[in-house]
Amino acid sequence: MQTTAFKLELLTPPQDDLLLRVKASSLSLKEGDCVAVSSKVVSIWQGRCVPRDRQSKEELIKQDADLYLDLPMKHGVIHTLKNGVLIANAGIDPLGDWYILLPEKPHDTAEKLLAWFKNEYRISDLKLIITDSRSVFLRQGAVGIAIAWAGFPPLYDNRRRVDLLGKDTGGTQTNLPDSLAAAATLAMGEANEQTPIAVMRGIPYLDSPKASPDSFEISPAEDLHAPLLQNPKWRKGGGGVVL
């Protein structure tokens, strides 16, 4: 699999034209490619930017989160659930004099962007993910995660495959959007690289008949980490979902 990041002219808050910047770039696409787009430039395109002097970061996080833990901030972090993702600070990051929120209606936005890329580049077989990054349990640093995806089923089914010795081990399913997001985020960088678009080519599994129709997102009660997710007393944020 080949992953290539592309530079765009700088997008500036509170709102800027992402599609115009893409058209002005050197981006090229082929049939079967997957386009990765950083959530930050998508949010700036949507105008999801709040001046840092308007309200405190803590207030803004609680306002935009679906659920949050009402605990003292440690390392500047509030634990939140946003759009079905366990992520620090509802995914809100500072940029200059602004706070950048996560994109609005991310899955609808991914579908809209995919349709635009297909039309603009005359491509019929194309996939797309919107990426962000987060920390993971008991690990330093951040890793890419898919906020949304479009054009492909999110799971590859390994459950009926056998191991190297020919034995049925039960198996699991491969999380395709987050796997792609991790590779794309590494290529795009997370500082001042100014390469918020990446193209992935030669991706295994995406067009396989083993792609699973099973639901990708699961409730906290069904999650492997349910004891960690359900025992804390989550408070309802402005985004408003209930465990």
Q: Are strands 173-175 and 155-157 parallel, antiparallel or unpaired?
A: antiparallel
Task: Look at the domain 1-47+103-212 and name its fold.
Answer: 60s Ribosomal Protein L30; Chain: A; (3.30.1330)
- Provide the 10 A C-beta neighbour count for residue 210: 15
pLDDT in tens, the chain (243 residues): 999 999 999 999 999 999 999 999 999 999 999 999 999 999 999 999 999 999 999 999 999 999 998 887 777 899 999 998 989 999 999 999 999 999 999 999 999 999 999 999 999 999 999 999 998 877 889 999 999 999 998 988 776 677 777 777 666 788 999 999 999 999 999 889 999 999 999 998 777 655 554 567 777 777 777 776 766 677 788 876 555
Q: Which residues contact 179 (CB under 8 A, 6 or more apart)?
A: none
pTM over 0.75: yes
Sequence ranges of the domains in the chain:
1-47+103-212, 49-101+217-243
The tokens of 99 are what? 């706070």
Distance CA 63, CA 90 (A): 9
Distance CA 98, CA 66 (A): 21
Distance CA 119, CA 162 (A): 41
